[in-house]
Structure 1
């Protein structure tokens, strides 16, 4: 009963509004509106292995509900619409003595909150192939990627103008002013290190060849008075033979301090490459990454590093001067008659790490994931994932082994 009640609190707020708007604004609004309620059960267990670690383990367990509504636009060459993202999580297990899994925020008494969540709304308007959006949502951009690796996703508040008016090009520009972290229900200033800012301004362009096997991405961003950053990325695929393909994902970032330099003088160049060879259901990938300069790769606090080759569930190997390599293996069991079952394992090692405490540190991460998505029946698209990881660093006491179990079920509402 608790799960149904928690999810319905979000859904009941939104459905009457969406249906009323649909009746008022016509078939395009109705026909193109999609709403999904995803239940996400997340168990996180991390055991610290270093003998001098004051806390021996971090363990939290939550039941989350994520309501995602994306409306169509009102009829005509121009139109308006609305996107709604509601997120709510309930603590099933987790005490002050083993806090630290970043599934839950802390209450004023220092104990993990019993529940948390928020409702984000973004209004949008379009004219021909150009769209203006303002409000709160989850961006997935090379310089700003909302983190969705815990119970609830991170969101940002801001405005963005995007256009596909030019053939084969997607252009965008905008500004974010604040963020709600994955384990918090409040909106906070944007941060990097110990510095805070009220504006991240960005522009970008994506170019795709008609074959869709080549994509070029360009982006520039400025976290006001902290840093500026530029990015160029290339994604290329080659079909070598039936069932055999080669894919490359190349990225280059360059950043420096901006304006008042609230986080100090910054200088960073980061290059990464992930090359994967797929032979039927098997994929073997090699990742190479080089961080140069006196500061690490730049990103807003809380965001992900999915555009880096050696980004993992736990770490992005993005410290100052760090050089890292990865070997990864993926298996899709559809070729063995079990569609929906997948397996992944990888090993990433970094060296030459420079921090305030070390001048030539080393670290490695080993991760494995087994996942299954139900293919048919009443529970179609429900999934279960088990993730296991070991992290070892030679420059601090944060060595640990961990397990994560995530059970998700997306329910199409309309």
Structure 2
């Protein structure tokens, strides 16, 4: 068993024992009245065609259909100056359709026989302690940070095992720190050590025993502005710093927005992947009026390496999307995006959007860590439409469709379709 999981299980009875006095204070909140439990059912169809891959030993498409269930329980805290609580998450994924030659969609685990598993499941437990406005958690964690973004983009969400501290003692300021020593990937039920990605390529030749992070977000200007400073370290592989600024400003019926960020990364410790040198700059600007929102984005990579991250996560980079990242070595990219909320014309629950991103100036040799030197180019067009049923028996049922066309001269072309159904029940 993972050491952190073992510690968290030993910690759990202490948390429950500490909760007993709070159980009698239900009228004041406490362990029971402060608890919530939700069950989310997610039905996911994923199809990705790698249209430019040829040859008998190369898979040309990934196409799978699966049903997932996500149970989240979060207790309240016991009464008193030190509050104790327990969180739990239960995950179950069931294969509905797959086949040899169509696996590796990210929905289902791959078995040694080359087939997708029929099902997979996981139970994660977290003990938590609260003192004033500071919270400590030990066990199963799902952080969402600029240096480790929560990447719930397939059937079941990923998680990590470790320790985290979050403090809100100062108004407007949120401070966080943590130590993670293993991960459970989005299509796996067990724990494993962590890998790095450079750009779009997983670096399977090296693993790390720990990811450490610290940082803070400060909201000011009546919470219209937020400044962020973060540090992340995938031990013996890379370390990374982040500076960010978000702002939203109303001008009559218009709302202007800005999301600016800068990353700087280098190799760490034993340098298990060799030298890493990356600086990333992005700006995503928006203007909203009624149901219309228009985005314009620019993103630039500097240094000798592609953008590093923990496998298999997305990042908050302004031009990253779940298909292409536009984070290859030396890449420059532009984005234009348009979203429309149909509630503005009396159709609540219906939203749609289109996005186009184009990148160039890619150092393809550095990005792919070998091969010939040439300037890489890529583009992606996304179409999204979603609807949440507003009334009747199916009230709350969400449907989302995505169609993607992505093309590149240094990596695989992709045609992709996703169809996702979501429905949640509040159990507590």
Query: Is this a same-fold pair by TM over 0.5?
Result: yes
2:422 equivalent to 1:413: no
Decide whether aligned partners of structure 1 residues 130 and 57 sit closer, same or farther in structure 2, where only a CA change above 3 A counts.
same
Decide whether aligned partners of structure 1 residues 95 and 22 sit closer, same or farther in structure 2, where only a CA change above 3 A counts.
farther
Instruction: Give the equivalent residue in structure 2 for 1:253.
Output: 263
Is the CA contact 1:138–1:155 (under 8 Å) kept in the aligned structure 2?
Answer: yes
Is the CA contact 1:173–1:203 (under 8 Å) kept in the aligned structure 2?
Answer: yes
Q: Deviations over 1:274-325 (max 9, x none)?
A: 10110111011011000111111111111111x1100112122111111111
Q: What SS class does the counterpart of residue 309 from structure 2 fall into?
A: coil
Distance, in Å, in 2 between the alignment partners of 1:160 and 1:331 is 38
Is the CA contact 1:88–1:118 (under 8 Å) kept in the aligned structure 2?
Answer: yes
CA positional deviation for 1:375: 2.1
Decide whether aligned partners of structure 1 residues 25 and 121 sit closer, same or farther in structure 2, where only a CA change above 3 A counts.
farther
Q: What SS class does the counterpart of residue 321 from structure 1 fall into?
A: coil
Q: What SS class does the counterpart of residue 97 from structure 1 fall into?
A: coil
Q: Deviations over 1:321-359 (max 9, x none)?
A: 111110000000001110000001100111111223343
Structure 2 residue corresponding to 1:328, chosen from 337, 340, 359:
337
Is the CA contact 2:54–2:60 (under 8 Å) kept in the aligned structure 1?
Answer: no
Distance, in Å, in 2 between the alignment partners of 1:233 and 1:370 is 30
CA positional deviation for 1:119: 0.8
CA positional deviation for 1:172: 1.1
Query: Which 4+ residue blocks in structure 1 deviate beyond 4 angstroms?
Result: 20-23
Decide whether aligned partners of structure 1 residues 240 and 57 sit closer, same or farther in structure 2, where only a CA change above 3 A counts.
same
Distance, in Å, in 2 between the alignment partners of 1:313 and 1:60 is 17
Is the CA contact 1:291–1:318 (under 8 Å) kept in the aligned structure 2?
Answer: yes
Mean alpha-carbon deviation: is it higher for 220-229 or for 353-362?
A: 353-362
Instruction: Give the equivalent residue in structure 2 for 1:300.
Output: 310
Is the CA contact 2:398–2:423 (under 8 Å) kept in the aligned structure 1?
Answer: yes
2:184 equivalent to 1:174: no
Distance, in Å, in 2 between the alignment partners of 1:187 and 1:26 is 37
CA positional deviation for 1:98: 1.2
Is the CA contact 2:241–2:263 (under 8 Å) kept in the aligned structure 1?
Answer: yes
Q: Superposition pairs for residues 149-188 of structure 1, below 5 Å?
A: 149-188=153-192
Instruction: Give the equivalent residue in structure 1 for 2:296.
Output: 286
Structure 2 residue corresponding to 1:353, chosen from 362, 367, 370:
362
2:211 equivalent to 1:200: yes
CA positional deviation for 1:141: 0.6
* TM-score, normalised relative to structure 2: 0.89
Q: What SS class does the counterpart of residue 299 from structure 1 fall into?
A: strand
Q: What SS class does the counterpart of residue 246 from structure 2 fall into?
A: strand
Is the CA contact 2:157–2:186 (under 8 Å) kept in the aligned structure 1?
Answer: yes
Instruction: Give the equivalent residue in structure 1 for 2:405.
Output: 390
Q: Superposition pairs for residues 85-124 of structure 1, below 5 Å?
A: 85-124=89-128
Is the CA contact 1:68–1:86 (under 8 Å) kept in the aligned structure 2?
Answer: yes
Q: Deviations over 1:192-215 (max 9, x none)?
A: 123211111111111011622111
Is the CA contact 1:25–1:74 (under 8 Å) kept in the aligned structure 2?
Answer: no
Instruction: Give the equivalent residue in structure 1 for 2:391.
Output: 376
* TM-score, normalised relative to structure 1: 0.92
Distance, in Å, in 1 between the alignment partners of 2:214 and 2:128 is 18
CA positional deviation for 1:131: 0.6
Decide whether aligned partners of structure 1 residues 310 and 22 sit closer, same or farther in structure 2, where only a CA change above 3 A counts.
farther
Is the CA contact 2:104–2:110 (under 8 Å) kept in the aligned structure 1?
Answer: no
Instruction: Give the equivalent residue in structure 2 for 1:400.
Output: 414
Instruction: Give the equivalent residue in structure 2 for 1:38.
Output: 40
Structure 2 residue corresponding to 1:215, chosen from 215, 226, 241:
226
How many residue pairs align between the two structures?
A: 394
Superposed CA RMSD: 1.7
